[in-house]
Amino acid sequence: MDTATVIARLDEARGADSRTRDRVCDEVAAEFLAAGTPPFIEVRSADLRTDPYLMCADRYWRGRFQEQPTARTALECARWMSDHVNDESWEAVAEQWALGNGFLNRDNLESPDQLAEVMGETGTGAAVERFAFFLTLFHAGKLRANFCFDELHAFLAYSPSSAAAGSLRGEPVFVALQSFAAFGSRTLTAAYASELLEQAWSAADRTRHTVDICLNGVAFAPPFAGQGELLRDYAEEAVEAHPGDHMFHARLAAGLHMCGRHDAALESIDTALALLAASATASLSVLQNQYLTKRDAIQEGRLRAERDAEQLHRWEQQAAANAQLERSLHTSSVRAVEVVAVFTAAIAFAVGSLQVTLTGKLPLSDRLWLLAAQGVGLAVFALLIVGGTWLITRSHHGQDKRTG
C-alpha cells in the first residue's frame, strides 16, 4: 500500500462529515487487513470520534481480534502501539482497545497456562510493563464481561501478566477492576470494595473507562446496604462530567431504580437509548438489548410500586376502620358495665326500702334515716363501680388515641 495515498485519504477524512470519515476509515482498515500488513500510520490522540488515524487503526485491530481473539494477538497489538502511539495517548488507547476487544471477544477465554506462555514471549526491556499491562486488561475485559468476579480478583492479584505490569498496577483503571471484582465477589466485603472504588474514583488522572468500571461494579454487586444511593450519587457525578455518554445515563437509571425513583429512572434510560442510537459503538445491539431490558424492569417496578401504594392505602383504611370498631365495642362494654352497676344499686335500694317500709316496726323518722343511709350506701357502691371502670379503661383510651 502506498504510504502517501493512505495519509492523504486519512487527512481528507479528518475534515469530512462523520459518515464519510467512518467509511474512509473502514475502507483503509480493510485494505490493511487484506494485505496482511499492520497500519504504518501514527496515532497522536485517543479521540475515536474525530481522529481518522486512530479510527483506522482501531478498526484494523478490531478485525484482527475478531479473527484471532487471543492473548498473542493482544501482544502483537501492544508491540504495534509501542511504535505507533505517542506516550500522551498510549494509556487511553490501551484501555479502549484492550477492554473493548476483551468485551467483544468475551466468549474466548484462555487458560492461565496459555496466558503464561504468551507472557514468556514479551522479552525484556522498558516496554515489558506496558505489554503486560495491555495483556492484563485484555483478559480482565473478558472476565469482567462474563461477570467472573472471583476469577478476576485472583487474576489481578496473582497472574504473571499482572505481576509483570509493575508500577502500572497502581493506575486507576487497574484499581477500578479490583473494585469491580470485589463488589461482585461472595467472599470479599462491600466495605473493602468501596475503599477500592473511592481510591480509583478520586484519582486525578482517572479515565472514562475507570469511571465506567467503577459504576459497573456497584450496579452488578450482590445487594448490600446503601447500594442504590451509592450508585445514584456516583452516576450523577459521571453524567455531569460526561453528559453525552449513554452508558453513564444507563447507570444512573439503574441507581434511581434501586432508590425507587422510577419516573426519573425511566427518563434516564430513555436518554441512554437516544444517545446510544446516535453513537457509532461496535456493540450497539448488545447494549441496546441491555438498556431495553433495564427499561422494562423500571416500568415493571413503577407499576409494582403503584400497586403497592394502593394496597397500602387500603390496608391503612381497613386498619383505621378496625380500630374504630374496636373503640366502639370497648366503649359499649364499659357503658354496659356502668348501666348494670346503677341498675343493680337501684334494685337493691328498692327491695331494701320495701322491707323497711312494709315490715319494719321502727318509728317513721328512724325508717327515713335508715332508707337514706341505705340509699347513700348503694349510690356510693354504684359510683365506685363506675369510677373503677373508668380508671381501668382510661389507659386503654389513651393508647387508642395515640395509635389512632
Q: Does some domain include residue 373?
A: yes
pLDDT value of residue 315: 78
Neighbours of 227 (CB within 10 A): 18
**127 exposure class (CB count in 10 Å sphere: 0-12, 13-18, 19+):** middle
* Residue 270: count of CB within 10 angstroms of its CB: 15
Q: What is the pLDDT of residue 200?
A: 97
Site of grid cell 337501684: 346
- 77: in domain: no
Distance separating alpha carbons of residues 258 and 251, to the nearest angstrom? 11
Mark the ranges of the chain whose per-residue pLDDT is less than 70.
1, 280-283, 325, 328-362, 364-371, 374-375, 377-378, 381-382, 385-404
Residue 358 lies inside a defined structural domain of this protein: yes
What are the CB-based long-range contacts (under 8 Å, 24+) for 268-273?
Answer: 269/294, 269/295, 269/298, 270/295, 271/246, 272/246, 272/247, 273/246
Residue 275 identity (one-letter amino acid): L
pLDDT at 362: 61
Q: Would residue 334 count as lying in a domain?
A: yes
Residue 69 placed within a domain: no
The answer to the question of residue 2 being in a domain is no
Residue 365 lies in a domain: yes
Note the pLDDT of residue 73: 97
- Give me the residue label for grid cell 504473571: 160
Q: Which domain holds residue 354?
A: 323-403
The domain tally of the chain equals 1
Task: State the pLDDT at residue 125.
Answer: 79
Residue 229 in any domain: the answer is no
Q: What's the rounded Cα separation, in Å, for the pair 15 and 52?
A: 10
